[in-house]
Structure 1
Amino acid sequence: MKKLLLLLVMSCVGGYVMAHGHEDDDDAKRGTIEGIVLTSDGAKAAGVTITIENTNYNTVADDGGEFNFKMLPGTYTLVATYVGYAPTRQEVTVEEKKTVHVTLRLNLTKSELKDVIVYSKRNSYKINHSSSTLRLDEPLLEVPQNIQEVSAVALADQGITSFGDGAIRNVSGATKLEHWGDYTRINMRGSRASEFRNGMNVTSTWGPLTADMAVVDRIEFVKGPAGFMMSNGEPSGIFNIVTKKPTGVTKGEASVMVGSYDFYRGAIDLDGKFDKDNKVQYRFNIMGQSAGSFQKYGYSDRLTIAPVIKYQVDDKTDITAEYLYQYARMQDGGAAYVYSPTGYGDLPRDFTTAFEGIEPLVLKDQSLFLYLHHQFNPNWKLTVQGGYLNTNKQGSNLWPDSLGPGGKMRRAISIGDAINRSKFAQVFFNGKMQTGGIQHRILVGLDLGDKDNYYDWGQNQILDDDAHLFDIYNPGSGMPYNGLPVFDRSIDLLQRAAAAGTYTSQSYSGVYLQDELGFFDNSLRLTVAGRYTYVKQNDYGTSYDAKKVTPRIGLSYTIDPNTSVYALYDQSFMPQSGLLRGNKSPKPLTGNNMEIGVKRDWFAGRWNTTLSAYRIIKNGALIADPDTSGGNQDLKYSLQLGQTRTQGVELDIRGEIVKGLNAILNYAYTDSKVTKDLDPTKVGTKVTGFSKHVSNGWLTYTIGDGALKGFGVSAGYTFLGDRSTWSWATSNQKDLPDYFRMDGGIFWKGEKMTVNLNVNNLLDRYLYSGAPYGNFYYYQVEAPRNYKLSISYRF
């Protein structure tokens, strides 16, 4: 990997020298046209085509309405065009080695543009810029890292209503392991990916509640360490869920959805302004859902309410307040699991160990976000944001106390209450400046976070006695012989957690500085950054802290306006609980990522490819100290010797391949192994929880003309090859079989209405994931072939 990294760097510099060492004097004199497209009402206009008259130069304004050209000195005419509207022309003079700024104004109102953009964006899978919550104020093509954006359009086309339903099919290498129904854990590049909401790290051991897509504007996947977002976490990457905000354009959408297993859903999205001056804007989303299950006794009901208010103080400053309430009521947390003494998949898909009358799992999730943006001038911007999240969970967890070889199970159930509270504060500056011939993109940030988690698992009850065991092969009604469980909640959960020691907390503070230096008219960009992070944790009564400076170095080179190559070195760390001999605390687990890649936009930016190769080394993993000569007192000690290496290749393709055909295609090869361990026999063994081969695809074709205009078909698949289980190899280890799922649908998209029928698991395959557990196996089953029919109306 070092050789590949060195080769890429040398190729970038060498390529530049060769290309420019022999360039003629005219090319050396090129200047830059930087521009922005606005509507007649002053709104930024994305997707507008800009051409230079009487030349072959053309581009498309990005999500911020911005564009640029590099031209020889002279006078040119810029032409901005949008489907169905008269072109706008403006003359501009380019001087040698200078930058000229241009503002093009389309002669149409935001309301008129909205009708065109809304219709156009329904077919848009490609996003050119990250959200402001990701802090990177530059095109994704120039960022020295693999970042994939998943649009709300793609999620809607696939019929995805919750993040756990399959949103990860839109990005390479992400896998979902079995989960408890109320939250989703995603693995990427060999370990868990941290979950962010609007740029804030909400990751906890269990939680938060899975985000509903009714409030989601986009999902951003950042591969590898994200030093500009965090440093205290796994080096695999993050996913950032960006919620909907007011746009200042009055519009709305109402939708209904019905589906298999008594699935019913309704949602309304209102976007607009309270006053004529557009100073006070709003966004309001509400969603209600009721669903049964293919498993007996299964159900899930959800409610989401999300009001957002934005106040435009003046042309430079805005303030936004966002509240989100999510309520979920579903079956017991452990009821989705299937258990077998012989292996996976040997019981009917509707099997469950649950029974009628078991108390529901109830979750109440509330969050409040505040944002302030201030634009000092065209080059410097300040963002201040904060958040508060509170998740309250009350329920139980059903689990086997024992399972014999003949299928006789003694079931047990435990209370499963939890409270998660998190507070965040962030301040960061984005700036642009120039020193001599060097351009600078500067990011300076301060992060503060505090998380508190309270749990109660201390009340357990046995449901079946030895004379009346539950038979998994003949379950009957499943009613427990010992009766329904009863838990005592007369004492507040915080007091119960304090008494049992089932409390965890984490507080952290971090300071971050990054400078991206642009050379040779910003065609070669060097990113130099560092972050200082201090973390203090308490894990079930054990307190410890850690601090570390993590560097970040990136190199990106623009080969042509549509192609860039990059190299990256980034670090992360994660504090660990434990005790070493001499009563010393262990050092944090550290992760080092080296990555190279190439990004390219094709056919005037209609679609994009990203190809990357990476290697992540994790050092300092704890293992149990094998020296137990001192008796039981030695069992508390650990050794810090472990190392793992994860490396692989990832390919992502997204966008409009040809007119009417949108595609999302990806593939990832992941190899994750133990490279150092006290036990030599473990060296070379797999790290659990990933698949060596992961490939996804989603295609939609829409007829653009004729009597069938707006009709279309869709098809998608997910393949997981060489799957590892959740836990380490045991004496009864059995590998999971390869996984293949195909989905498809038909739809019609009009100017105001969309009708979409999606059929999941078209081949009706028995699909599951699981792992060995003691002397038996557990697994979770996916639904048989099922459908969802949605009808939405825009107004």
Structure 2
Amino acid sequence: MFNPWPHALSVAVALATLASPTLSQAQDLTFNLPAGPLASTLNAIASQSGHIVSLEPSLVRGKQAPAVVGQMPAEQAMQKALAGSGLQLRVTGQGNFSVEPAADNSAAMQLGVTNIVERSTDATTEGSGSYAARAVTIGKGTHTLKEIPQSVTVMTRKQMDDQDIVDLKDAANKTTGLVGAQGVGRGLILSSRGFQIDDWQYDGVPIPRNTYALGNWATQDLIFFDRMEVLRGASGLLQGTGSPGGAVNLVRKRGQNAPTVTLTGKAGSWDHYGLQLDAGGPLNQAGTVRGRLVADQDDSHSFVDSEWYKTTSLYGALDFDLSEATTLGLAVSQSDGESRSNVRGFPRYADGKPVDLPRKTYTGAKWNHSDIDVTTLYTDLEHRFNDDWAFKVGAVRMTETNKAKNQRVQSSGTGINADGSGVQYADFVTDLDSTKVALDMNLNGKFEALSMQQEIMVGGNYSKYTSDDKFARTFNNSTDNIFNIDHDRPEISYDGLLNSPGGRGTPSKYDIRQKGLYGSWRVKPIDPLTLVLGSRVSWYDYSYKSWRQDATSITADPESTSNENGEVTPFAGIVYDLSREWAVYASYTDVFTPQTERDTGGSVVKPIIGTNYEVGLKGELMDGRVNTSLALFRYDQENRATLDTDGGQICDGWYCSKASGKVRSQGLDAEISGEVLDGLQLFAGYTYNTTKYIKDPENEGKVFSWWTPKHMLRVWGNYQFSGDWNRVSTGLGFVAQTHTIGYDHSVNVPGYTVWNARVGYQLTPEIELAMNANNLFDKTYFTAAYNQINGNNNYGDPRNVMFSVKYTPEF
């Protein structure tokens, strides 16, 4: 298959691959490949047919292939993919394929049996038709999964489309080791290995995405993105104060070289309707300017009475080839999500048992309303000095406004009484306004020195988060019953709550800035062994100002600040290739997390320090069509702030803190993804994870991460039939997990298994029909969240279906 690896390894690999059997050139195969990058389409055809395709990487760079759909021999599929590209196909004497220029001087570039036949390191997944990613960009530069000495998962565009995954929370809960917990309304809390991931990467640029004055409101559509890359384990080298649980990188869709249009219509349960346009193509005759437009409208009611959601999303992208070696990318996305949501679910009985309420029960008011508006600007510039050296700079600017008013029902005491009494209405108004700006630049280079292959990466990044927020709230005890909620209480406003008995407002401002310099060095002292050494130096400044406001006055609270200068986080890894398919690895990395609590001397408590160890086995099987991994990990986190009860209540009328706590997260990850059998794309990921307080004055020995199950298994497979049934594809999978606990360790949230399925039918080469069915057996369960006795218990979706029609015209 196509792969731009160096010529130095071509002869040995070519001889090895030529010794393997290939399929008959004339055998008809069923192809269903949408228009996409030419490199990806050639890879997909080669992967499906079992052939080798050899070429110079520069020949296909920036070129686009038309859709390849129908029954045909692999050679014909290749010819169709190459149509209009200025390239031609040549069949070698051994029955493999070579791609070369169609010009008369092409003979000088023929590669013969000594061609590059390594696997492709193109990280783009659109058009690949595969669940197996060839490479990732989350660690700066482009590497295969096997080259990275940490656990890595990629959710490809094919997998998102097959499972009808449209937002980050859904994607997280169908990915190995991640938990997308319920935030406020449609918001989410992303976590891995027991720790929140609050900085998310966009094209490798990390920005804060879940810092709010109140609650967890973050939302993220996935229609703008080619893939979701996930690194599990400490990510301090990439993000400085990054989560010890890992990092998530969302890689956006790009401008295209050939005209491509996809129009998708959806209709499903609870009056759920959607319409999406995804179009792209060259904007000049030379193809040096390429564009992309995505427009999506999604409207839905809910299984919960009175609940509704409406989201409008727009995305536009331009890519300019300033020269053969330099590409500039510009893009803007905008998502406007309105909703009337069941913001905090249900409370529980005092003994922690759930109240027996129907899943359709709405606890809000008729005037509940939320409007989340997110606008993001993206830009990046990449310059390729040659095939070995490249410089890239990327920037992201995101503005977000979040306006909401809602009624939340909770218990007035320690849980709802047996007769349903003990209800309290909590009224909230939020007006949150934030701006995030981030920049990342890096230089990557490969070279040979002292007879060793080496690679270096140096870079730096900067992020700034500023906000101008305010919220107001009141808590109102009531004689109402949990089985008869009042949805018609008077509508609220910010000023109205300030004038209510017990009403209080909280204006606030965040100013969080982080910058860092990072670098890594990869060296191969002997051919099968790679050593990776890296480090980052970080600077961090945090400021939070808040005021207490009532109807007549406003009073400033003490400012909360934290500053860290020159914090060093090292990284070390080793990868040993057992064979071309298998490698073992081990890694160590540090993480630091600044804290804002004060000690008895008035100083900020020193940062949390964590150490992450991981060993594992990775495989790239069946000529790269299947990725596998197995990892054992342990993360110890020390210096957590705990209450200093010996120091007296001298910190704002309460106990100060000291850096003495310790927690541990450890376990196992296992994963397989790709075409495990002809026509069968499979993703399966299992995680065993325990989290515990090792040292804590109140919680020692208890579970640390209440929403992290000890066992998680996520499985999905999609099978493309052949022969007379070649128009049909079917999918089946499930998510299963063991129980979790509540925020205060007094609630048990039972585990569950939920099955999902899909049926697809290719009506014509241009029209595809599909039906996705979720929660096939209508399992009743509670989702992971800040589950508490007094509220925040939310049911998962009952059984539902989604029908879709996708139209992709040929050009």
TMscore range, shorter length:
0.7 to 0.9
User: How far does residue 225 in structure 1 lie from its aligned partner after superposition?
Assistant: 1.7
Amino acid at match of 2:586: A
Report if aligned partners of 1:306, 1:322 keep a CA contact under 8 Å in 2. Answer: yes
Match of 1:644 among 656, 659, 663: 663
Q: Provide the rounded CA distance (Å) in 1 between the counterparts of 2:262 and 2:696.
A: 56
2:748 maps to 1:735: yes
**Structure 2 counterpart SS, 1:553:** strand
Report if aligned partners of 2:197, 2:243 keep a CA contact under 8 Å in 1. Answer: yes
**Structure 2 counterpart SS, 1:213:** coil
**Structure 1 counterpart SS, 2:220:** coil
Match of 1:253 among 243, 262, 284: 262
Relative to structure 1, the CA distance from residue 643 to residue 433 in structure 2 (aligned partners, 3 Å threshold; closer, same or farther) is same
Taking structure 1 as the reference length, what is the TM-score of the superposition? 0.82
Q: Provide the rounded CA distance (Å) in 2 between the counterparts of 1:200 and 1:130.
A: 14
Relative to structure 1, the CA distance from residue 772 to residue 130 in structure 2 (aligned partners, 3 Å threshold; closer, same or farther) is closer
Match of 1:505 among 511, 526, 531: 511
Residues 592-611 of structure 1 aligned to structure 2 (within 5 Å): 592-611=611-630
Q: Provide the rounded CA distance (Å) in 1 between the counterparts of 2:232 and 2:328.
A: 31
Relative to structure 1, the CA distance from residue 82 to residue 192 in structure 2 (aligned partners, 3 Å threshold; closer, same or farther) is farther
Q: Find the counterpart in structure 2 of residue 205 from structure 1.
A: 211
Match of 1:380 among 383, 389, 397: 389
Amino acid at match of 1:370: T
Q: Out of 256-265 and 342-351, give the one that drifted further.
A: 342-351
Report if aligned partners of 2:236, 2:592 keep a CA contact under 8 Å in 1. Answer: no
**Structure 2 counterpart SS, 1:470:** coil
User: How far does residue 512 in structure 1 lie from its aligned partner after superposition?
Assistant: 0.6
Match of 1:179 among 158, 164, 183: 183
Relative to structure 1, the CA distance from residue 691 to residue 752 in structure 2 (aligned partners, 3 Å threshold; closer, same or farther) is same
Residues 680-695 of structure 1 aligned to structure 2 (within 5 Å): 682-683=700-701, 685-695=703-713
Q: Provide the rounded CA distance (Å) in 2 between the counterparts of 1:628 and 1:360.
A: 45
Q: Find the counterpart in structure 2 of residue 762 from structure 1.
A: 776
Relative to structure 1, the CA distance from residue 65 to residue 538 in structure 2 (aligned partners, 3 Å threshold; closer, same or farther) is farther
User: How far does residue 228 in structure 1 lie from its aligned partner after superposition?
Assistant: 4.2
Relative to structure 1, the CA distance from residue 443 to residue 365 in structure 2 (aligned partners, 3 Å threshold; closer, same or farther) is same
Report if aligned partners of 1:231, 1:571 keep a CA contact under 8 Å in 2. Answer: no
Q: Find the counterpart in structure 2 of residue 471 from structure 1.
A: 481
Report if aligned partners of 2:787, 2:793 keep a CA contact under 8 Å in 1. Answer: no
**Structure 1 counterpart SS, 2:517:** strand
Q: Find the counterpart in structure 2 of residue 156 from structure 1.
A: 161
2:726 maps to 1:709: yes
Gaps of 5+ in 2: 1-8, 16-35, 62-73, 80-87, 104-122, 499-503, 546-558
Q: Provide the rounded CA distance (Å) in 1 between the counterparts of 2:496 and 2:284.
A: 49
Q: Find the counterpart in structure 1 of residue 531 from structure 2.
A: 526
User: How far does residue 687 in structure 1 lie from its aligned partner after superposition?
Assistant: 3.6
Match of 1:452 among 461, 466, 475: 466
Q: Find the counterpart in structure 2 of residue 105 from structure 1.
A: 100
User: How far does residue 65 in structure 1 lie from its aligned partner after superposition?
Assistant: 9.0
Report if aligned partners of 1:344, 1:770 keep a CA contact under 8 Å in 2. Answer: no
Residues 354-433 of structure 1 aligned to structure 2 (within 5 Å): 354-356=364-366, 358-400=367-409, 402-403=411-412, 404-405=416-417, 406-408=419-421, 409-433=423-447
**Structure 1 counterpart SS, 2:239:** coil
Q: Find the counterpart in structure 2 of residue 325 from structure 1.
A: 334
Report if aligned partners of 2:89, 2:98 keep a CA contact under 8 Å in 1. Answer: no
User: How far does residue 346 in structure 1 lie from its aligned partner after superposition?
Assistant: 1.7
Q: Find the counterpart in structure 2 of residue 435 from structure 1.
A: 449
Q: Out of 768-777 and 744-753, give the one that drifted further.
A: 768-777
Amino acid at match of 1:470: D
Match of 2:562 among 540, 544, 559: 544
Match of 1:88 among 65, 87, 90: 90
Amino acid at match of 1:488: D
User: How far does residue 505 in structure 1 lie from its aligned partner after superposition?
Assistant: 2.2
Amino acid at match of 2:315: A
Amino acid at match of 2:620: D
Encode CA deviations 1:235-256: one digit per residue, 9 max, x unaligned: 1101111121113222110000
User: How far does residue 685 in structure 1 lie from its aligned partner after superposition?
Assistant: 4.3
User: How far does residue 486 in structure 1 lie from its aligned partner after superposition?
Assistant: 2.8
Q: Provide the rounded CA distance (Å) in 1 between the counterparts of 2:57 and 2:481.
A: 58
Relative to structure 1, the CA distance from residue 685 to residue 265 in structure 2 (aligned partners, 3 Å threshold; closer, same or farther) is closer
Match of 1:487 among 488, 494, 508: 494
2:728 maps to 1:722: no
**Structure 2 counterpart SS, 1:764:** coil
User: How far does residue 427 in structure 1 lie from its aligned partner after superposition?
Assistant: 1.1
2:241 maps to 1:232: yes
Q: Provide the rounded CA distance (Å) in 1 between the counterparts of 2:510 and 2:677.
A: 52
Q: Find the counterpart in structure 2 of residue 625 from structure 1.
A: 644
Amino acid at match of 1:781: Y
Q: Find the counterpart in structure 1 of residue 354 from structure 2.
A: 344
Relative to structure 1, the CA distance from residue 265 to residue 339 in structure 2 (aligned partners, 3 Å threshold; closer, same or farther) is farther
Q: Find the counterpart in structure 2 of residue 168 from structure 1.
A: 172
Residues 253-332 of structure 1 aligned to structure 2 (within 5 Å): 253-332=262-341
> How many residues are treated as equivalent by the alignment?
707
User: How far does residue 390 in structure 1 lie from its aligned partner after superposition?
Assistant: 0.2
User: How far does residue 319 in structure 1 lie from its aligned partner after superposition?
Assistant: 0.8
Residues 547-626 of structure 1 aligned to structure 2 (within 5 Å): 547=565, 548-626=567-645
Q: Provide the rounded CA distance (Å) in 2 between the counterparts of 1:118 and 1:460.
A: 47
Q: Provide the rounded CA distance (Å) in 1 between the counterparts of 2:174 and 2:775.
A: 17
Q: Provide the rounded CA distance (Å) in 2 between the counterparts of 1:227 and 1:377.
A: 30
Report if aligned partners of 2:349, 2:789 keep a CA contact under 8 Å in 1. Answer: no
Relative to structure 1, the CA distance from residue 294 to residue 418 in structure 2 (aligned partners, 3 Å threshold; closer, same or farther) is same
Amino acid at match of 2:711: H
Q: Provide the rounded CA distance (Å) in 1 between the counterparts of 2:680 and 2:757.
A: 15
Encode CA deviations 1:53-100: one digit per residue, 9 max, x unaligned: xxx995889999999xxxxxxxxxxxx9784438536899xxxxxxxx
Percentage of identical aligned residues: 19
2:807 maps to 1:793: yes
Amino acid at match of 1:350: K
Relative to structure 1, the CA distance from residue 81 to residue 526 in structure 2 (aligned partners, 3 Å threshold; closer, same or farther) is farther
Amino acid at match of 1:714: G
Report if aligned partners of 2:344, 2:791 keep a CA contact under 8 Å in 1. Answer: no
Q: Provide the rounded CA distance (Å) in 2 between the counterparts of 1:431 and 1:758.
A: 45
Encode CA deviations 1:748-770: one digit per residue, 9 max, x unaligned: 13532221101111111111136
Q: Provide the rounded CA distance (Å) in 2 between the counterparts of 1:214 and 1:265.
A: 12
Q: Provide the rounded CA distance (Å) in 2 between the counterparts of 1:567 and 1:597.
A: 6
Relative to structure 1, the CA distance from residue 598 to residue 63 in structure 2 (aligned partners, 3 Å threshold; closer, same or farther) is farther
Q: Provide the rounded CA distance (Å) in 1 between the counterparts of 2:281 and 2:75.
A: 26
Q: Provide the rounded CA distance (Å) in 2 between the counterparts of 1:530 and 1:399.
A: 46
Amino acid at match of 1:627: D
Relative to structure 1, the CA distance from residue 46 to residue 487 in structure 2 (aligned partners, 3 Å threshold; closer, same or farther) is same
User: How far does residue 106 in structure 1 lie from its aligned partner after superposition?
Assistant: 6.5
Q: Provide the rounded CA distance (Å) in 2 between the counterparts of 1:427 and 1:380.
A: 14
2:682 maps to 1:663: yes
Report if aligned partners of 2:345, 2:791 keep a CA contact under 8 Å in 1. Answer: no
Q: Provide the rounded CA distance (Å) in 1 between the counterparts of 2:41 and 2:457.
A: 25
**Structure 2 counterpart SS, 1:295:** coil
Report if aligned partners of 2:620, 2:627 keep a CA contact under 8 Å in 1. Answer: yes
Q: Provide the rounded CA distance (Å) in 2 between the counterparts of 1:748 and 1:63.
A: 35
Q: Find the counterpart in structure 1 of residue 550 from structure 2.
A: none
Q: Provide the rounded CA distance (Å) in 1 between the counterparts of 2:710 and 2:761.
A: 37
**Structure 2 counterpart SS, 1:635:** coil
User: How far does residue 231 in structure 1 lie from its aligned partner after superposition?
Assistant: 2.2
Match of 2:227 among 218, 226, 245: 218
Amino acid at match of 2:130: S
User: How far does residue 722 in structure 1 lie from its aligned partner after superposition?
Assistant: 3.4
Q: Provide the rounded CA distance (Å) in 2 between the counterparts of 1:651 and 1:791.
A: 35
Encode CA deviations 1:530-550: one digit per residue, 9 max, x unaligned: 100100011342111113110
User: How far does residue 449 in structure 1 lie from its aligned partner after superposition?
Assistant: 0.7
